[in-house]
């Protein structure tokens, strides 16, 4: 008896032999690997636990309490806008790292227009911006969000950022 299921990747209906049940196999449409489910009569049914209404009420109350604390903290913050980078005294390379990091993340995501906006912002800061790009490329700055970008690609993005900054001079 054949087993029919939907591919986890392309969503198309796939049919596999009963012998393949419980194993992995490639989709004939997209060639991605899928788990081939067991036939319904061989599946172990695990009944759901009853919901503990008291525990659920406590969980919801804790969520609401945390939301209240968050609202209070936000309300206590001053309404003074932060000083723009270009108006700060004693600006350092570290102040520009976030712009260089965002440039790399946007490049990795294919958001070239947004990456160009970061170049425009960084360009105003001349050599500090170049140093910020160099810090990211050399690994001096440890940013968890950048771990998803392979090191050679990240270095390439930083070299490209430096080239773009130099070209704007």
**139-168 average pLDDT score:** 92
136: burial class by Cβ within 10 Å (0-12, 13-18, 19+)?
buried
Mean pLDDT of 120-149: 92
Least confident of 1-10, 29-38, 47-56, 73-82: 73-82
Q: 37 with 95, same domain?
A: no
Label residue 169 by pLDDT band (50, 70, 90): low
Query: What mean pLDDT is predicted for residues 112-125?
Result: 93
Number of structural domains (the chain) is 2
Instruction: Please check the confidence at residue 84 and state whether its pLDDT lies above 90.
Output: no
Residues 10-45: tens digit of each pLDDT: 999 999 998 899 899 999 999 999 999 988 777 777
Q: Is the pLDDT of residue 102 over 80?
A: yes
Determine the pLDDT at residue 159. 95
Same domain, 99 and 158: yes
Closest CA to 106 of 145, 58, 57: 145
Residue 72 lies in a domain: no
Q: Are 38 and 95 in the same domain? A: no
Same domain, residue pair 35 and 94: no
Q: Is residue 32 part of a domain?
A: yes
Secondary structure string (H, E, C) spanning 44-111: CCCCCCCCCHHHHHHHHHHHHHHHHHHHHHHHHCCCCCCCCHHHCCCCCHHHHHHHHHHHHHHHHCCC
Q: Is residue 50 part of a domain?
A: no
**Domain that residue 129 falls in:** 90-168
Q: Is residue 104 part of a domain?
A: yes
24 is a domain residue: yes
pLDDT score of 78 = 61
Q: Are residues 100 and 30 in the same domain?
A: no
Q: Taking all residues of the chain, what is their mean pLDDT, rounded to a whole number?
A: 89
Q: Is residue 119 part of a domain?
A: yes
pTM for this model (two decimals): 0.52
Instruction: Identify whether 76 is part of a domain.
Output: no
Say whether pLDDT at 46 is over 90. no
Q: Is the pLDDT of residue 47 over 90?
A: no
Instruction: Judge whether 65 lies within some domain.
Output: no
């Amino acid at each position: 008896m054949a087993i029919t299921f939907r591919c986890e990747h392309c969503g198309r209906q796939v049919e596999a032999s009963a012998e393949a049940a419980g194993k992995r196999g490639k989709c004939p449409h997209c060639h991605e690997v899928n788990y081939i489910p067991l036939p319904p009569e061989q599946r172990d049914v695990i009944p759901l636990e009853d919901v503990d209404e008291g525990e659920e009420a406590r969980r919801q109350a804790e969520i609401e309490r945390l939301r209240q604390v968050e609202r209070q903290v936000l309300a206590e913050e001053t309404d003074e806008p932060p000083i723009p980078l270009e108006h700060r005294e004693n600006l350092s390379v570290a102040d520009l790292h976030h712009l260089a990091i965002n440039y790399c993340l946007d490049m990795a995501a294919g958001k070239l227009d947004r990456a160009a906006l970061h170049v425009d912002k960084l360009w105003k800061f001349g050599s500090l911006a170049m140093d910020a790009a160099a810090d990211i490329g050399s690994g001096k700055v440890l940013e968890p969000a950048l771990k998803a970008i392979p090191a050679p690609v990240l270095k390439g993005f930083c070299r490209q950022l430096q080239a773009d900054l130099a070209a704007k001079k």
